[in-house]
Structure 1
Amino acid sequence: MEYCLPASDDEAEAADPSKYTKRAEGDHLIVLDDVAIIVEDKAVALSALSRGGKTARIRTDLTGIITKAAEQAGRMRDAIQRDGGLRSKNEGWIDLSQIREIHTIAVSLDDISTVLTATAELVQAGLLAADNIPWTVSLHDLELITELVARPAEFLLYLRRRRNPDVTVMFRAPDEMDLFLYFFEAGLWVEPDPVQVRAAFPFLLEPATAELRRYRARKPAFLTSRTDALDQWFHTRGHGGARSIQAPKPAMVPSPLAPLIDELQSRNVTGWLSIGATLLSGATDVQHKFARHGDELLNNPSPKGRSLAVPLTASVDPAEGWLFVWATRPSGADPNETDRRLRDYLRAKKHQLGLPRGVVFLYDQPTRELLDICYEGHTGPLDAALTASLSSLRPPSELHRSIHPNAKRPQSGTRNAARHKRKRKRKR
């Protein structure tokens, strides 16, 4: 697609996309509700000189494959963030003001896995900018990963983890599929600096000594080959016949929230992809608790309805914060009034805590049915009525008394990592 950018400082300062005169090209832009994925394809192959070890030629070829793709994807990302949309040559103005997360992917037709997985080294070599790290992947690995994921939320969560700058430093692997299968196995999670998390979300308590100690004890890991089961599945898939044996397909650790994540998608709820990936990001024990919240509220009904709010703050970036709310509607309550009240509460509470996105899961007390899932991504100022309601909300300083302790800490996203964490606690 072709879109317009400012051609001069004057055009940039005016910030009027309708008057931009510079044309730029992008290969793919995928938009789903609040998520945008920008993909740049590069068909440049490593030359014979590069494969022979000529350093200067290696840098030239990698610049053509990786650096240019990252720059092109980053240019489109910056335009969306700056202008809230793109002015396309063929489609006119494309409003993307609803976007809350953007991911960039640089796809190479040449299979150079050892290079593409060495993201930290690419940054150190100046081939990638630290503030613009795309997921660099070969077309073959990208296609294979899309076959392996059981649901789109898994793919988005992998994108979030894979593009995390800390992940590129803490995990090294010779092959993209080793990283991906480790994601299936143990989440590909890196615990962020608790001091920076507290700075991003000031309503949290000061980091505990144990949290600081655990963060300082982190050590980089080199992931050995994990592809034996993948190879067996790949080579036996599609072979029919009564005597043939199909090897099992590698899969992510089962999630207790899988039925809810699939329900979000089947209902086509606004934000279903980003909500599902966020639900899937918690450690398995936390996911079990989340899966029980609705039943726990319904098991103790109230004539006024009940609710539980949990902020998710496992990041050093405030833009990645979420507010999850579980609520019930009592018998005889007006559906429209309940919906309005909960939406107002969600928007006001998000504003109070400085969280950009949130969701309400609304259950019916008499039938225990999941009535509605309401996504909220408003980030601007509140209207007068909601501003006045802020004084009636519990202050952020008291929030930690009701929040589940694990919700204040980064989560691994897998049963194995959660079990390992519990073992460390027992040792301490």
Structure 2
Amino acid sequence: MARRKLPDLEMVEADARGIEIGFERMAGILARLPDIDSHADLVKLAPGLIAAAVRRIEDAAEPFDAFDVLESLKMRELPMSLVGYSEREHDGMPAVIELAAVVLLARGAREAHEPSDANPGEAVEQIAEAARELLFLANFVSLTPPMAASAGSSESAAKAEIAQSLKTYELFVRNRQYQSIRDEHDPKLLGDDQVSRDMTEMLGFSYTEYIAIRRAIHEFSGDRLNAAADQFYGAFDDEAAAARWDFSSLPEDTRERAWKGLANLFIHPGARASFTADEIAVRSESEVSIVRAVLTLFAVPFDSGDPASNVRSYLEGDNPFSSKSLLVDAAGNYLSTGAQLGDDMVRTAVEKGLSEKAKARYVGVRTRVSEGLAGDYFGKMIGPAQKFTGLKYWAPAAGEGPEVVAQDETDVRSSAKQTEMDCLIVAEDVAICVEVKGAGLRKESRGGNAVKLASDLAKTVGEAASQADRARALIEANHGLHTPSGWLSLDGVREVHCVVVTLEDLGPAGIALDAMVRAGVVTTQRVPWIVSLHDLAVISRLVEEPAELLLYLRRRTSPTFAQVFHAVDELDLFMSFLSDGLFLEDDPDVVAAANPAAPPATAAERRRFQRSLVPKTVATHTDPLDQWMYAAESGGATDTNDYPKPTFRSEARIAALVNSMTRDRKPGWLRAGADLLAFSGDAQSRIANAIERTAAATRADGKWHNAFMSQMSAQGHFGLFIGSVPLGMSVAKATTQLERYARVKVHQVHADRSLGLVVSSSGEIVNVGYGNHEREEDPALDALTAQMSLTSVARMSRSMPPPSARRTTVRLRGKAKGKKRKR
């Protein structure tokens, strides 16, 4: 009998259309590669293939003005409007424009050596195809198969794995921040009075002046584009002529105006799209010297060189447009490469331009602002809760255990050191330890230098993870913290999570926690959630119930998550979570060890768990998010209605229950709310039906009825109790009766937390109770269990079935055949 061969990896797509697009693009990529036998052969052929592709770009662009070529490429590669934009459907790539610019800059001048009157747009397809071949060739040459990233990989291999994923991200991904989030962060970081003075002194402009110039460029370019469009389309007032775009039917002066409009729009768009410092100074009402200072900071000039060598450097991570977004010719004309001035780069450019003293002042502002914003976002998602920022506390000195800073210790100074936590959020019985790091990555790190990247990550992510985990361990061990102002009791806390927030966008490097552990970057007992401040801001806009955030933290930081799930973007993971729960099987042996009442793990459960460990790459899931955000940023009410806010997918009745508990701050609103949302849609329906059936049974016979359901997981054992209120019984008495039953049942099944719902005969939930329990020996409860004739633990099923993944996947299998089992 043949043993089933597990797939090598799964592509987790948002829907069937995603699978279709993925296969189409994969086929296109493979078609561009030569017919070779091995990856090693491709590496050998790469230099020649790169040189050939560069020559094709040179030859295609040679007769044309560089600005005409690049503006034509921009019209092909960039969407005309972001409203309704779909990353999956749009095949444009900003890196194509940059690669063409790298080649054209090397010819030393904007002008063509032998100008032609032909339409440069005719060369666009050939240039775009050659640039795409370069990009995908570079990706394939340096590609590390996911299967190679095994738990047994060496430390150096893990560092290389992280570096390669980040290098690829840097090569392909642009426009990484939503404008509204950028507008929320940058003024606080760079608009500080002292930082503005330092910028003016050392860079020649303040942040306010930069914003005015950025806006002026955007408006100036938009006005010129609209004027050209009006000039062309306005000439065709006659409907018959417009239907055929018949120039011959137009009067001579109108025909000339139409041709000029057409040339400005599509044939020779470089002059229309470019601008000078003087023009922007007038538009922004700024001094020309200030405009020149801004434009110079973000501009790359033409310079004679070897285009093939420049392209190889670009593909290896040395991208001149990583910190610049303009080209400038010898006459002082500027052209944007696509992004608005300073997108994704203004903060880095400012930091690089400051002196050491000024940068130290800026770092102080950066720390205060980023920590404050992170705390605000968690406060927004969690709601009314205790929030401590800049919390100083005593931690054990090296070699000491947590007991030296326990509550009854009066002389902590002798064996402890004072440290600080950036933010501590405490809500009901949950605590979140947050550490924020503002330092960025060096250019070499983003370019693929594995050693420098590992060093940068260790100083930011690794250090922050250790700081957060230290606080977590003390809270769990001592149920509180020694602070300079006295003992901070956290006795009720039962669940603690660690979060590392980075000001820098780490892309896939921040998601590759398993590789970070293998690389020695993260050495903590438990892994944290690593998220950029930008992505945290976006997630804070999406989260509607605090329980959603807690459930995401549980799943995102589970021990096996980083071993299984791979993604380019944190927001892809979060959007996948909203749509399908991002569920991953718990190790059944871990579940059994964590839950004393659990039966031993079965062979079938172990096999199911092993099948779940197939590596999964989460593809683009952010289209609904992009469309919602871009519609909101456009300010159009109709657009916002057309593109609704993405929300967490759950059974409507359970969603309403969690919302009601949160709104009224009913007991268990956070932790039990996350437990309810953790159930699959089918299981949530059974819970809602059980509530309705309990009420219906009481309506039918007038008696007290109850129901019990539970779920065991690596996070413990959650018990749900439902009890009715018969006619003539008070809510208080029904509550007492349910509490008595729940107390005994919890003791019997060793549940560590439980939620009690008291429901009227009409089906309305009239009371809610919650308990988190520490297991204790209690002979009286043992006797009561026997007296109440409760179903024995041995006869109970383990729990409700686990959630079923609702994600759309495509499985990619290797060629190896499964082994045959002997009969």
State TM-score, norm by structure 2.
0.47
Q: Could you tell me how far 1:241 is from its partner in structure 2? A: 4.6
Please list the CA deviations of residues 151-185 of structure 1 after superposition, one character each: whole Å capped at 9, or x if unmatched: 22211111111011211111100111111111122
Q: Could you tell me how far 1:129 is from its partner in structure 2? A: 2.8
The one of 493, 518, 532 equivalent to 1:138 is: 532
The one of 371, 393, 412 equivalent to 2:766 is: 371
Work out the CA distance in 1 between the residues paired with 2:601 and 2:400: 46
The answer to whether residue 505 in structure 2 is matched with residue 117 in structure 1 is no
Work out the CA distance in 2 between the residues paired with 1:25 and 1:69: 11
SS at structure 1 position matched to 2:393: strand
Q: Could you tell me how far 1:238 is from its partner in structure 2? A: 4.2
The answer to whether residue 128 in structure 2 is matched with residue 128 in structure 1 is no
Q: Comparing 11-20 with 167-176, which one deviates more in the overlay? A: 11-20
Structure showing greater relative contact order (alpha-carbon pairs closer than 8 Å, 6 or more residues apart): 2
The answer to whether residue 693 in structure 2 is matched with residue 296 in structure 1 is yes
Work out the CA distance in 1 between the residues paired with 2:468 and 2:435: 6
The one of 711, 719, 725 equivalent to 1:329 is: 725
SS at structure 2 position matched to 1:132: coil
8 Å CA contact 1:204, 1:408 repeated in 2: no
The answer to whether residue 738 in structure 2 is matched with residue 342 in structure 1 is yes
The answer to whether residue 470 in structure 2 is matched with residue 75 in structure 1 is yes
Change (3 A) 1:203 1:78: closer
Please list the CA deviations of residues 316-363 of structure 1 after superposition, one character each: whole Å capped at 9, or x if unmatched: x3x521111111122222544433332233233222222210011011
Q: Could you tell me how far 1:53 is from its partner in structure 2? A: 3.3
Work out the CA distance in 2 between the residues paired with 1:12 and 1:332: 54
Work out the CA distance in 2 between the residues paired with 1:289 and 1:86: 42
Work out the CA distance in 2 between the residues paired with 1:240 and 1:175: 26
The one of 575, 587, 601 equivalent to 1:181 is: 575
Partner of 1:103: 497
The one of 700, 704, 717 equivalent to 1:305 is: 704
Paired residue type of 2:736: R
Matches within 5 A, 1:2-401: 2-7=392-397, 12-13=402-403, 15=406, 16-21=408-413, 22-90=417-485, 92-129=486-523, 131-207=525-601, 209-218=603-612, 219-241=614-636, 244=639, 246-256=642-652, 257-301=654-698, 302-313=701-712, 315=713, 317=714, 319-365=715-761, 367-379=762-774, 381=776, 385-386=780-781, 388-393=783-788, 394=790, 395-400=792-797
Work out the CA distance in 2 between the residues paired with 1:214 and 1:77: 32
Work out the CA distance in 2 between the residues paired with 1:78 and 1:340: 36
Paired residue type of 2:710: P
Q: Comparing 70-79 with 194-203, which one deviates more in the overlay? A: 194-203
SS at structure 2 position matched to 1:270: coil
Please list the CA deviations of residues 301-322 of structure 1 after superposition, one character each: whole Å capped at 9, or x if unmatched: 2554111111211x2x3x5211
Change (3 A) 1:12 1:291: closer
8 Å CA contact 1:108, 1:137 repeated in 2: yes
Paired residue type of 2:706: S
SS at structure 1 position matched to 2:670: helix
Partner of 2:12: none
Paired residue type of 2:763: R
SS at structure 2 position matched to 1:264: helix
8 Å CA contact 1:35, 1:100 repeated in 2: yes
Please list the CA deviations of residues 277-309 of structure 1 after superposition, one character each: whole Å capped at 9, or x if unmatched: 111111111111111111111111255411111
Work out the CA distance in 2 between the residues paired with 1:310 and 1:40: 37
Please list every run of 5 or more consecutive structure 2 residues that lacks an aligned counterpart in the other structure: 1-390, 809-823
Q: Comparing 249-258 with 10-19, which one deviates more in the overlay? A: 10-19
SS at structure 2 position matched to 1:299: helix
Paired residue type of 2:482: R
Work out the CA distance in 1 between the residues paired with 2:601 and 2:489: 40
Q: Could you tell me how far 1:144 is from its partner in structure 2? A: 0.5
Partner of 1:425: none
8 Å CA contact 1:36, 1:99 repeated in 2: yes
Change (3 A) 1:208 1:175: same
Identity among equivalent pairs (%): 34
SS at structure 2 position matched to 1:300: helix
Please list the CA deviations of residues 68-93 of structure 1 after superposition, one character each: whole Å capped at 9, or x if unmatched: 11111001101101111112223x22
Please give the root-mean-square deviation of Cα atoms over the aligned residues, in Å: 2.4
Work out the CA distance in 1 between the residues paired with 2:594 and 2:726: 36
Q: Comparing 27-36 with 13-22, which one deviates more in the overlay? A: 13-22
Work out the CA distance in 2 between the residues paired with 1:114 and 1:311: 36
Paired residue type of 2:708: A
8 Å CA contact 1:2, 1:89 repeated in 2: yes
Paired residue type of 1:85: G
Please list the CA deviations of residues 200-222 of structure 1 after superposition, one character each: whole Å capped at 9, or x if unmatched: 33544455554333223231111
State TM-score, norm by structure 1.
0.87
Paired residue type of 1:39: V
Change (3 A) 1:18 1:188: farther
Paired residue type of 2:520: G
Paired residue type of 1:270: P
SS at structure 2 position matched to 1:332: coil
Work out the CA distance in 2 between the residues paired with 1:207 and 1:323: 20
Paired residue type of 1:345: Y
Q: Comparing 203-212 with 138-147, which one deviates more in the overlay? A: 203-212
Partner of 2:388: none
Work out the CA distance in 2 between the residues paired with 1:24 and 1:284: 44
Q: Could you tell me how far 1:9 is from its partner in structure 2? A: 6.2
Please list the CA deviations of residues 185-207 of structure 1 after superposition, one character each: whole Å capped at 9, or x if unmatched: 22111112234333433544455
Paired residue type of 1:262: N
Change (3 A) 1:353 1:254: closer
Work out the CA distance in 1 between the residues paired with 2:616 and 2:582: 11
